[in-house]
Amino acid sequence: MRLGDTRPFASSKATRKWGRVHSGGLVYFLCMEPRNPLNFRGQTPSEMSDGFYRRTLQNFSRKSRRQKFELFAELLHPRATDSILDVGLSGRVFAGYTLEDFYEHPEHIVGGGVDIEEVGTGKQKYPKVKAAVFDGCALPFRNRSFDIVFSNAVIEHVLGDGNQERFASEIMRVGKSWFVTTPNYWFPFESHYHLPLIQFMPEGAQRIYNRMFGTHIPRGEVQELALLSARKLQRLFPSGSIARLRVSFWPETLIAYYIDAERRNAQSR
């Protein structure tokens, strides 16, 4: 998913409704009947778990995601009354291990992204969430209109000159507090390809490497990514702090977070 793009929105499966949220810009809401949830690429759980390699990766990924939400709860202490914006809602990528599964009040979440199909799967999987189509680089919400903005593994897919800066600026603008995760560029095992060291190679070498050994991204194809180091992430979110999470020998995940003064004061009482 590339944020910052403009794409035609078309779907025969969704009922569409235009509305305004917090007197911001125009938002495209989805109202859908819940269907059976899909896993990534439409695979069944049994297909995804075939083989030791896949099972190992799944267990690793679950541990990593669990760490994220433990830290999210520890730092932000989300309350039942909090309004939360999830930039990157999906019902198939990370399904079962995302914010909507951990936060006990999904009716207080507005979730969305630029891809109507992806957002539609999120609405199917999490029907209580207010699902909306929007561009993360130009969020249609007022300043500080959400108590928390959450975004998991989206910013590395934001491509184009200046778009990651716009994406980060929008999160800091609309959220009183925020929590943004991304894979660590310097971790040697690349989490999108499921291949070691591929992020350090030029595009042509990536294509050949993936053609020979690819297991996740279709063989011979290249995944456009803008992976971030801790230093670059800090530059994007200068008012925040950077956490490094690890399941293995080296931090796999970086998190930029900020806790607003009111929330910090409430936690200290």
Helix (H) or strand (E) holding 255: strand 253-258
Is pLDDT of 19 > 50?
A: no
Per-residue pLDDT, averaged over 111-116, amounts to: 96
Handedness of CA 9, 14, 16, 19 (dihedral sign): negative
Q: Does domain 15-185+227-268 have CATH number 3.30.70.360?
A: no
Per-residue pLDDT, averaged over 228-239, amounts to: 98
Helix (H) or strand (E) holding 102: helix 99-102
What are the sequence ranges of the domains in the chain?
A: 15-185+227-268
Mean of all residue pLDDT scores within the chain: 84
Is pLDDT of 12 > 60?
A: no
Query: For residue 60, what pLDDT is reported?
Result: 72
State if pTM tops 0.85.
no
